[in-house]
Amino acid sequence: MSLHRVMRSAPVTVSLAVITALALIFVSELSYNRSIAAMRNLDSVVATRLQVQQILRLMLDAETGQRGYLLTGNTDYLKPYVAATRQLGSTLSELGEHYKDQPQSLAEFTQLAQLIAQKLSEMETVVRLRQEGREAAWRSVLETDIGREQMALIRHAADTLVVRDTERIEHEHRQVSRTLLIARVGIAAMTTVSVLALLMYLRQGATLEQERAQRQASLQRERDSLEQQVRHRTQALTQLAQHLQTAREDERSRLARELHDELGALLTAAKLDVARLQSRLPGLSAEASERIVHLNSTLNSGIALKRRIIEDLRPSSLSNLGLVAALEILTQEYATRSGQRVRTSLEPVPLSPSGELTVYRLVQEALTNIAKYAQAGTVDVTLRGEGDRVEIAVQDDGRGFRSEGVDASAHGLLGMRYRVEAEGGEMHIDSRPARGTRLSAWLPKARAVAKSDAGPMGEAA
């Protein structure tokens, strides 16, 4: 018997079960939401009442410290006074946020804040008079009943807020009790209906279980098939990414060779021709000499530009000097161009040639992004080995960004991630606004090669 026929043979059971489930969900959600709201309000009111009591304690601490200083002249008594007055400001601000949606309580709180401000002003005046040595003035203020009256008003205002919060607490307690009563009645009723529906549903249980087992087996087969397809596609995409990276670097190398051979030869020949003209035409006018000098300078700039382009396409330092030296040169040139402080901690690590190029390109792209967007003052570049892996990390103290919000338009970051994953590694970005960015990647170490293989590699480089 199919699941469709089972459902059709028991319309009353299914309908009753659906209605019961919906009713249970409704009662449960209603009770939960009301209880959560009441508990949150209770927490807020209790916290508010505690803060009001804390304000009274801070006022007493401030007054005690002030009087101790006035009577003894010992500045140590001013420490609790200063600490209490500072904490009062933050506590009053938090209370203001609590009461901003309660007009009546907000008015009472405003009155309390004004009284506290007046009291603090009076206390500050007396302390200043004591510090200035005007004993008669501060003693006359101290001996009056102004301070006691102000404290009485402050206590009255605070007590009013506490009473108001107590009423709110009692109201929320009653709300929780009503919610729990509704939940008890509703759940009891729905439980009775559920038992009835369960008894009706058990008759079709065996058939449903058989149908479920068949469907589960079918789903498992489909899942296994999909997982196998995903593994094959992932492997194919990884191979394609590796091929694209290899093709890209090969194309860069080809362009670098053509620029070096063709454009380099043309620029060098042109510079030699200019030198011959300058040596064989000694009687040139001042304007012609200036033009030749300008042409020679332009050719030198073109040769320098050609060299920079070739280095960007295929860094010769990486092939000739190794990864550590290449990164040192890259970071030093970046520091010179950007004016930022660059600190490096680079260890020699065993990486394949493609792995070294991946590390170099990652640092190069990271420094480019820092120069464009980070507004950083200091950059740290770290290369180290740990176990069978190598870590490369670039960290700055710039403005940062929300790393979880990086979208598909960030082609540089995506390109770096694909390049690292194509080498069998993984890349992480840790960044928060105003806290800088840390870009790190882990790559597998290259397996050791025989010395006989290492020599030709170095010579070829």
Q: pLDDT digit string (tens) for 17-53?
A: 677 777 778 777 777 777 777 677 667 777 777 878 8
Strand 341-346: give its sheet, edge to edge: 341-346, 378-386, 389-396, 437-444, 426-431
Residue 85 near residue 120, CB atoms below 8 Å: yes
Give CA–CA dist 211/206, Å, rounded.
9
Q: What is the pLDDT of residue 450?
A: 36
Confidence of residue 453 (pLDDT cuts 50, 70, 90): very low
Confidence of residue 461 (pLDDT cuts 50, 70, 90): very low
Give CA–CA dist 402/404, Å, rounded.
5
Q: What is the pLDDT of residue 13?
A: 63
Confidence of residue 411 (pLDDT cuts 50, 70, 90): low
Confidence of residue 332 (pLDDT cuts 50, 70, 90): very high
| Parallel, antiparallel or unpaired: strands 437-444 and 389-396 | antiparallel
What share of the chain in percent tops pLDDT 70? 83
- Report the range of poorest mean pLDDT among 58-62, 228-232, 370-374, 402-406: 402-406
Q: What is the pLDDT of residue 388?
A: 92
Q: pLDDT digit string (tens) for 166-192?
A: 877 777 778 778 777 887 787 777 778
Q: Is the pLDDT of residue 389 over 80?
A: yes
Residue 130 near residue 140, CB atoms below 8 Å: no
Report which residue type is found at 110. T
Residue 309 near residue 346, CB atoms below 8 Å: no
- Report the range of poorest mean pLDDT among 63-72, 222-231, 329-338, 442-451: 442-451
Give CA–CA dist 201/217, Å, rounded.
24
Residue 264 near residue 303, CB atoms below 8 Å: yes
Q: What is the pLDDT of residue 213?
A: 87
Q: What is the pLDDT of residue 400?
A: 87
| Parallel, antiparallel or unpaired: strands 341-346 and 378-386 | parallel
Task: Give the closest residue to 344 by CA, choosing from 316, 361, 312, 367.
Answer: 367
Task: Give the closest residue to 356 by CA, choosing from 273, 278, 266, 419.
Answer: 419
Give CA–CA dist 87/381, Å, rounded.
42
Q: What is the pLDDT of residue 38?
A: 67
Residue 158 near residue 56, CB atoms below 8 Å: yes
Confidence of residue 460 (pLDDT cuts 50, 70, 90): very low
Q: In this predicted model, which residue has the larger pLDDT, 272 or 444? A: 444
Q: Is 151 left (phi over 0), alpha (psi -120 to 50) or beta?
A: alpha
Give CA–CA dist 331/403, Å, rounded.
24
Q: Which two tokens stand for residue 28?
A: 């449960």
**Which distant-in-sequence residues (6+ apart) come within 8 Å of 160 by Cβ?**
108
Residue 80 near residue 127, CB atoms below 8 Å: no
Q: In this predicted model, which residue has the larger pLDDT, 362 or 47? A: 362
Q: What is the pLDDT of residue 205?
A: 73
Task: Give the closest residue to 172 by CA, choosing from 37, 28, 51.
Answer: 37
Residue in this structure with the two tokens 């498992």, named with its chain if needed: 220
Confidence of residue 249 (pLDDT cuts 50, 70, 90): low
Give CA–CA dist 323/227, Å, rounded.
39
CATH class of 316-460: alpha beta
Q: What 3-state DSSP class applies to 339?
A: coil
Confidence of residue 367 (pLDDT cuts 50, 70, 90): very high
**Interhelix angle 353-369/205-258, nearest 10 degrees:** 90
Give CA–CA dist 39/141, Å, rounded.
47
| Parallel, antiparallel or unpaired: strands 437-444 and 426-431 | antiparallel
Q: What is the pLDDT of residue 52?
A: 80
Q: What is the pLDDT of residue 242?
A: 65
Residue 348 near residue 427, CB atoms below 8 Å: no
Cβ of 3: how many Cβ atoms within 10 Å? Answer: 15
Confidence of residue 9 (pLDDT cuts 50, 70, 90): low
Q: What is the pLDDT of residue 407?
A: 55
Average pLDDT score over the chain: 78
Give CA–CA dist 392/381, Å, rounded.
8
Report which residue type is found at 237. L
Q: Which two tokens stand for residue 10?
A: 């028991």
Give CA–CA dist 115/113, Å, rounded.
5
Q: What is the pLDDT of residue 140?
A: 67
- Report the range of poorest mean pLDDT among 2-16, 173-187, 253-267: 2-16
Q: What is the pLDDT of residue 455?
A: 37
Give CA–CA dist 262/271, Å, rounded.
14
- Report the range of poorest mean pLDDT among 78-82, 269-273, 302-306, 451-455: 451-455
Mean pLDDT of 98-123: 79
Q: What is the pLDDT of residue 405?
A: 57
Question: Domain coordinates of the chain in residue numbers?
Answer: 3-207, 222-306, 316-460
Q: Is the pLDDT of residue 448 over 70?
A: no
Residue 128 near residue 160, CB atoms below 8 Å: no
- Report the range of poorest mean pLDDT among 60-69, 136-145, 155-164: 136-145
